[in-house]
Structure 1
């Protein structure tokens, strides 16, 4: 059986270790794949961070919001976008542009790469203070001006 491996750590400063999906809930931090984006992660370090997220229109709510000592990290699940040098650049640009608009709407930290952060909170961590807002499949990006049925678009 082929299981996906994640790079995780128990603290922000601890080194990353390999773990399987079954043990993902044990780690507070993880590193998303630098070659394939499955979520846009916006880091918001502000006293009113949760208000910035909850004030968004319901149609673009993030799937998960993890509370931190400085604010929140918001996660928008998306259809996967390859980030390699050989990948089509249009979907990457669209994902970056969408992440930038979300970052601005939430007063997010511009220093954090929303498509491939170096390390972020784990919404599945058993000790996380997390709220799951969007009850929908991963958001889809329109392709070539056409829309797929039954998908939510950012």
Structure 2
């Protein structure tokens, strides 16, 4: 599979998955969270990874304005891991939000903690993946 296709799929899953999750916070949890600040806190928990991948994806699009994508291919295993990990984590976040009315979390604070834990785990794994996908320079090149 072409690396550019894998990158675009992973970025699309992450960006639209987070946008879906943030939307669900305001529409599904509306009746369960009395204050807007509680919903905003959950949206802000989801925002950093959304912003990071939106920025990385836009940078990739701007760098390939002429439509000439790289021809590098990646293994099927790499492709599946890079696409499957974000998909599973996004599904976990969406499920937590959708199942909150069914007592998946005992209170708003426990929902925030659960979503935060999922986002931290996702962020850690994506830190490794993003270096390869979005061609993040090694730290030695950044600091040196």
TM-score (norm 2): 0.29
- Give the structure with the larger strand fraction: 1
- Give the structure with the larger helix fraction: 2
